[in-house]
Amino acid sequence: MSAKKRGEIQPLSTEQELREKLRKIAALFEGATSAGEREAAEAALNRVRSALATAEKTEHSIEMSFRLPDPWKRRAFLALCRRYGLRPYRYPRQRYSTILVRSPRSFINQTLWPEYLEISRALDEYLREATERIIREEVFADADEAEEQTQAGAGLLAAGEPAPGFAD
């Protein structure tokens, strides 16, 4: 077998780092004291579910609407809701980007939404780094943003002129 390229191992470690970061986020919001231990994680999840059940007894549940147009973020949010025993739904003719959840406001504001935002940030960072790495390795090493020019150059298209290959 040929020797592995320098970049081939990196995606695995990046994915592993993402998984560990997601576990830490869950542990932070679930109150787990010994992250990584299955029993401690299960006990922490049960503590959050218990707190949700208590809040449901003392507070009225509200129907909260979330608009999540990004399909991956929406799937992460749906999974997080289900993790806590919530049943996300939508009404007929609502867009797929609309997710409704019925829960006490305090649970949504103090646990569900803040944890979702942390998970979303971690996934965004992972996808940004992975995309950047793949573009640089497989398309071209210089994938930086376009330079800013102080004056218009001679190669600019006149207003209304179609770009090459895009003529009517």
Threshold 0.85, pTM exceeds? no
Determine the residue type at 116: Y
Q: Is residue 160 part of a domain?
A: no
Q: Is residue 156 part of a domain?
A: no
| Cα separations in angstroms, 80 against 18, 58, 68, 132, 159 | 16, 23, 14, 27, 49
Residues 42, 32: Cα–Cα separation, whole Å: 9
Number of domains in the chain: 1
The predicted pLDDT at position 54 comes to 79
Rounded mean pLDDT for each run of 10 residues along the chain, 168 residues in total: 43 61 68 56 72 81 95 94 94 96 92 92 88 88 88 66 66
Find all residues with CB under 8 Å of 88, minimum gap 6, and list them. 77, 78, 81, 82, 99, 100, 101
Q: Is residue 166 part of a domain?
A: no
Q: Is residue 152 part of a domain?
A: no
Q: Is residue 61 part of a domain?
A: yes
- Helix 113-138 vs helix 71-83: crossing angle, to nearest 10: 140
In which domain, by residue range, is 50 found?
13-138
| Angle, vertex CA 72, rays to CA 20 and CA 24, nearest 5 | 20
Q: Is residue 162 part of a domain?
A: no
Q: Is residue 77 part of a domain?
A: yes
